Structure 1
Amino acid sequence: MGILQYTNDGVFDPNAISVTVGSSPIEVAATIGMTPDEMHRNAATAQKKLRELSEVLNKVSPRFGSGRIAFAWLRSEPLSGFGGLTAMQLLKRGKIEELLDFIDSVDAGVHA
């Protein structure tokens, strides 16, 4: 299914993401650094951040075997080379390109 599992009616949907990762829409919003109210007030920013979150989850979910485990990794696992920051912290800081490059390098066997 891929990245489409995180969407509904052509937009990235926190409810669809929450079902896939076994969490709540409130947790999904917190993961991207927004409240549900902020997501409604600033839909363009929310869509950008939800897209970035979906890209990361789509890349790492096959590695972990489930969206739930991928979501837990994203929120809690310190990443080498980023001073112990988690993927979630990198997303919140707008470091999506660096994070995706890191994931690609891990997949290529560069980082252990």
Structure 2
Amino acid sequence: MTAAFQDDIRENEIIAPRRLAERLRFSMAHLARVARLDRKAMTLYPSAPTVQIKLEEIARVITRAAELAGEEGKAVIWFKHQPLSGVGKTAAELVANGDIDIVMEDLDRMAAGVYS
């Protein structure tokens, strides 16, 4: 399941912004905001290291959440709509603010069976 997600968002060994946006049901502009990238740079230079690092962060969150939820669709819904307990922001909002560590720590707590 998560391997299929990773395969589907890749094109020529890189994460394709358009494919990731489609899987998340985001516009390209929204994906750029969440990834903290310039939309034009993301589109014109998708293989740039900065672009790939930011897109990989999002892919890593979705993959980890899908492993825990058992389904990619649930992981995407969680990423977009479910505020993290004690934080009051969604994972997408936190990633957009540069707080991916908070999201990954929350996922680690969930994996350890700690639900707050």
Q: TM-score range by the shorter chain?
A: 0.7 to 0.9
For the aligned residue pairs, the C-alpha RMSD in angstroms reads: 2.4
Q: SS state of the match for residue 18, structure 1? A: helix
Runs of 4+ with >6 A deviation: none
What is the TM-score when the length of structure 2 is the normalising length? 0.74
Check the 8 A contact 1:6/1:12 in 2, yes or no. Answer: yes
- Is 2:29 the partner of 1:26? yes
Which residue of the partner structure matches residue 100 of structure 1? Answer: 104
How many residues get paired?
Answer: 110
C-alpha distance in 2 between matches for 1:45 and 1:28: 14
Which residue of the partner structure matches residue 57 of structure 2? Answer: 52
CA displacement 1:52-105 (0-9 Å, x = unmatched): 0000011112416234x42232122111132x1211122122222231121011
- Distance 1:21-1:89 versus aligned 2 partners, 3 A rule: closer
C-alpha distance in 1 between matches for 2:63 and 2:76: 10
**More deviation, 27-36/97-106:** 27-36
Q: Which runs of 5+ in 2 are unaligned?
A: none
What is the TM-score when the length of structure 1 is the normalising length? 0.76
Of 82, 86, 91, the match for 1:87? 91
